[in-house]
Structure 1
Amino acid sequence: MNTIPKLKIHQTNLNRNIDFKDIMLNSSYDKLRFSWNSPNQLEIVGIDCALCSDFSTTEEFYSLSKYYKSIIDSNKEWLSDLSIPLIFIINSFDMHSERKTPWLNIPRGFIFIPETIYINKKGYKKLITINNNIHNFKYSAKKSVDRNLNPKLKAETSLYDFSKMIEKSIKMMNEKKISKIVLSRQKNYDFDFNINKQGDFLSKAKVRFPNCINFLYDFKDLGVFFGVSPETLFKTNGDTFYSEALAGTIKSNQMLDSIENSKEFEEHKFVVDYINDKITSFSNKIHYNKKPHLMKLKSMNHIRTEFKSVLNKNIFPFDIIHKLHPTPAVCGTPSNIAMNSIRNIENHDRGWYSGTLGWIDSNYNSHFIVSIRSGLSIGNNLYLYSGCGITSKSDNNREYDESEIKFNSILSILNDE
C-alpha cells in the first residue's frame, strides 16, 4: 500500500424524485452495497469499493488510517471544492475477543472508499462517481413473496442465563473490581432477510425511528449488517467536536424527575465522566449540559448528555475513534476490566454489535455512531443483539425486560404488521 491512488471524482445533480432505496436494492454490485440514513438530514447509498481494507487490530487500523488520510491529502485538486462522505469505517466492539459464529468469516474492521456514492442532503440529491465507475441501476418492482414470514426464534440468551451473568457481575461490584458493566444478549432466528425484507426495513426504519441513524450494509455472501442506532459516538465539523453520553433507559411514560438517584442516573454518570475525561486529551473549551435530558423513542426513553468542544490542532477523526470507544455505555468501567469480564461472562461474540460505524468526508468532517439495536443476517439465519447497563442496583427481571424492549425495536420493523 505504498502507492497513493489518484481519485478522479465526478458529481452529477439528480432529480429530487429519485428514491435512494430503489437504487440501493436494484444496483448491480460485486462486493458491497450500503445505506446510511439520518432521516431528513443526510442519506447515503454506496455501491462497491474503489478501495477497501480489512483490519484485525488497532495497530493495523492506525496504519491504514494514515494511508487513507494520505489519499485525501494527495487528491486535494479533486476534493478541495467538495465536502462529500468519502471514507467509511466499521469497527468491532472488541478487537481481541475470540471469534465465534456468526462472525467467524467477517473482519473485525473494514475501511473503504465506495466506487459510486449517492448523497441526499436535505432533499438535494447528487451522484458521485470515483474514477469514472458507475454501477448499473435498473428499477424493478418488488415481487410479492413471503409476506407472511416473520422471524422465528431458534435460540436465545435466556432469562436464567442472563440472570446468572448479572449475578456474576454484581459479585464483582461488591468486590470493588468494577463499578458498571454492560451485558448483552443474543437471539438467533430463522429468517430470510431478502431484498424485499431489506426494502421494508429501510422504509419502516426512517418512519418509526426518525431520531435514529438507520443503516444496512450488504456484504453479499458474508452477510447483511443492519440496525437503527440512537447513539452518536462523535461528530466533527471543522474544528468543532460533538459527542454524547446516552446511557440509562426508562419507560416511555417516565420523566427524569421521577427517577433521580436511580440506577439509571448512576450508570449515566459513569458515561458522562468517562467522555469528559477522554475528550480533554484531544480537545479544549469543553461544554456539556450539567442536567441531562431525555431522548424519546417509540417504546423507551434514554438519558442523554451532549458534549461540544474545540479540537486541538492536527487531530483528525481517525485519531478519535479508539480514544473514545468503547464507552461505559456499551462496555463498563473501568473499561479494561469490564472488557475482560465481558469476554469471560458472555457466551457469544458481539462482532460489530456495539462497535462503531461511520464516515469521514473529504474535508475531515465526520459522523460515527455506536452500532447498537443491530443484527446480522447470513443466509436464513438472523442474529439480533441487545444490551443493558448493570450496576450494583440492577434487578435481573427489570434488566431482562429492558433488553426485550430493545430487541423489539428491530423486530417491530422486521415483522409484518
Structure 2
Amino acid sequence: MGITLPLALFEQAKRHATKDEPALLSYVHEFTSDVSPLVLYQKAKDAFSGERFFWQNPEKTLTLAGFGVTEQFLAQDKQKDAYVGLEDRIRALKVRTVTNATEKQTGPLYFGGFAFDPERETGKEWQVFKDALFYLPLFMVTKKKERVFLTVNVVIYPDDETNKFEAVQAQWEKIANAAVPSLEIDTLVSAKELDPDAFLENAAEIVSLLQGSEDLHKVVLSRRMGLRFGHQVDSGAVLEQMIKTQNSSYFFVLEKGSALFFGATPERLVEVSDGEVYSACVAGSAPRGKTEAEDEKLGNELLTDAKNLREHRYVVDMIEDTLRGFTEDLSVSSEPVLLKNRDIQHLYMHVKAKKRADVTITEIARALHPTPALGGLPQQMAKAIIRMKETDDRGLYGAPVGFVNMDFEGEFAVAIRSGLVVDSLGILFAGCGIVSDSVPAKELEETRMKFQPMLRVLGGTEL
C-alpha cells in the first residue's frame, strides 16, 4: 500500500504558493488491492487518536475514513453563521489547491457536523465541537463500491523541499504496516435515564400549548441517558459494534481529542451529486416485532396510524416546500413505505430534484435544518419552545453531520440514534414528536425504544 511522491504535482503546488498563502497539495492514489477503510481507521489509532472520522452510507456504496488534521474549521463566534463560515473557508481553500483528483469523494473535502441550535449557549460537554467542527484530513481513505482511493492533503510553501512529502509518506507507511489493535468497549459501569419526570411534565405542557394554538403543530422534545465507563471508550470498538448490530443506517464517528460523537442514523438530510438533490422524509415510529407476524402487524399499524401519518406529512410538506426554493423538477415518492432498523421502523418517502446552478449543499442543509422530524412545526416557533423546555444543549445531536467538497457537493445525515462520550462519561440522546393528541407516557416509552440501538452498541442491556 505504498505511495510515491507526486513530484510534478509537488512542484506545481510550490509555484502556486506564496509565503503568506501556502498551497494545498491534495494527492489521490488508487489502490490496486482490496483495502478496508475500517481496518485503516483502526490502525491509525496510535498515531491519530482524537483526530479521526468515519462515514458509511446505508447502501455501503461509499465509505470514508479520515485521520490526521491538515486544517480544521471550528465555528466558535456566535455572531457568525457557521454554514456561511464553512462556505467561506472552502472558497478560500479552493483557489490555492493543487490536486490530481478526478473521482468524487476523493481529494479535498471537509467532514464534520453543525450544532443543532447555535443560538443557545454551548454546553460544557460540547465545548470542543462549538457551533460546528469540520476536518480537512491529512489522510482519507475512500471506498466507492469496489474501488479504493487514498487522499493525502499537505500544506506546501514555496521553499519546501521534497523531504516534507517524504515524511508524510513515511507516516502513511507506518499506519499501513501497523497491527490492528485489539478492540473492546470498556465495561459499562452504569446507565441511567436522566429526568424522566421533567420530560413527562414538559411533554404535558407542550400538548396543552398545541391544543390551545392554531399556529403550532408539533414540537420535538428530547431527553438523555447518562453513562459511565471504567476507562476511555475506544471509537474503533464502538464503530465495529455499530456496523455489527445496525442496518439500513448511516454510520458516523467524529473524534475531537478525548471527545467522541457517534451514531447509526436512518435519516438523510440532503445529498447533492452531479447537479441532483436527494432528501428523505423520515418520521413516525413503531417498535419491531419479535416474530415476523408481529413485525408485519406493527408495520401495518404504523402505515395506517393517523398520528404518525400526520407527523410524517408535516415532514414531507416542509422538505418539499423548502427544496422548491433551491431546485427544479422536484418529485416525491407517492406514498410512505416502511424503513426498518433492528429496533425501530419508520415511515419513509424519497425526494429528488435538479439543483439550481447557484446553490450549495450547505445552503440547502441550513434551510432544511431542523425538519419537523427533529424540531417541529413551524420551525422557528418550535425551536424557541425547545430552548425554553430543554435545560441541556443538544450540541451535534439531531443536527447535520456529513461532508462537503470544494464544489459544494456532498451529503449530510441527521445525527440521531447517537451518543457522545468524553473520556469515561457518556450521554445517549433520544427524542420524539409531540402533537396535540400525544400521550406523554407513550412518548416516554418511544424515547426508551430509541435509546436502545446505541445502548446495545455500548454493552448495555435491554430497557
| TM-score for both structures, normalised by structure 1 | 0.91
- The offset of 1:354, in angstroms, is 0.4
CA contact (8 A) 1:250 1:264 kept: no
- The offset of 1:192, in angstroms, is 4.8
Report the residue type matching 2:138 in the other structure. Answer: E
Aligned twin of 2:428:
384
Report the residue type matching 2:51 in the other structure. Answer: L
1:165 and 2:202 aligned? yes
Structure 2, unmatched stretches of 5+, are: 1-17, 155-164, 289-294
Structure 1 pair 314–79 and aligned structure 2 pair: CA distance change class (3 A): farther
Report which of the two structures shows the higher radius of gyration computed on alpha carbons: 2
Aligned counterpart for 1:230 among listed residues 240, 252, 266:
266
- The offset of 1:300, in angstroms, is 1.4
Aligned twin of 2:13:
none
Aligned counterpart for 2:27 among listed residues 1, 7, 10:
10
- The offset of 1:240, in angstroms, is 0.7
- The offset of 1:150, in angstroms, is 2.5
CA distance in 2, matches of 1:145, 1:233: 32
CA distance in 2, matches of 1:314, 1:145: 47
1:34-183 equivalences under 5 Å are 34-38=53-57, 40-56=60-76, 57=78, 59-72=81-94, 74-75=96-97, 78=99, 81-85=102-106, 86-131=109-154, 132=165, 133=168, 135=171, 136-137=174-175, 139-143=178-182, 149-154=187-192, 156-158=194-196, 160-176=197-213, 177-183=215-221
Aligned twin of 1:242:
278
Aligned twin of 2:225:
187
Structure 1 pair 142–105 and aligned structure 2 pair: CA distance change class (3 A): closer
- The offset of 1:151, in angstroms, is 4.9
CA contact (8 A) 2:232 2:424 kept: no
Structure 1 pair 146–51 and aligned structure 2 pair: CA distance change class (3 A): closer
Larger relative contact order, structure 1 or 2 (CA cutoff 8 Å, min sep 6): 1
- The offset of 1:139, in angstroms, is 2.7
Report the residue type matching 2:31 in the other structure. Answer: L
Segment drifting more, 254-263 vs 162-171? 254-263
Q: Deviations along 1:218-268, whole A, 9 cap, x unmatched?
A: 1123x0111111110000111110001111112222224665252111111
Aligned twin of 2:3:
none
- The offset of 1:406, in angstroms, is 0.9
Report the residue type matching 2:358 in the other structure. Answer: N
CA contact (8 A) 2:183 2:236 kept: no
Report the residue type matching 2:279 in the other structure. Answer: S
- The offset of 1:413, in angstroms, is 1.3
CA contact (8 A) 1:186 1:348 kept: no
CA distance in 2, matches of 1:31, 1:296: 33
CA distance in 1, matches of 2:141, 2:181: 21
Report the residue type matching 1:6 in the other structure. Answer: A
CA distance in 2, matches of 1:309, 1:364: 16
How many residue pairs match? The answer is 411
Q: Deviations along 1:173-208, whole A, 9 cap, x unmatched?
A: 01215210101011111125746x433322232232
1:259-274 equivalences under 5 Å are 259-274=303-318
Structure 1 pair 270–416 and aligned structure 2 pair: CA distance change class (3 A): closer
- The offset of 1:14, in angstroms, is 3.0
Specify the SS of the correspondent of 1:273.
helix
How much identity, in percent, do the aligned residues show?
A: 22
CA distance in 1, matches of 2:244, 2:95: 38
| TM-score for both structures, normalised by structure 2 | 0.82
CA contact (8 A) 1:83 1:363 kept: no
CA contact (8 A) 1:237 1:366 kept: yes
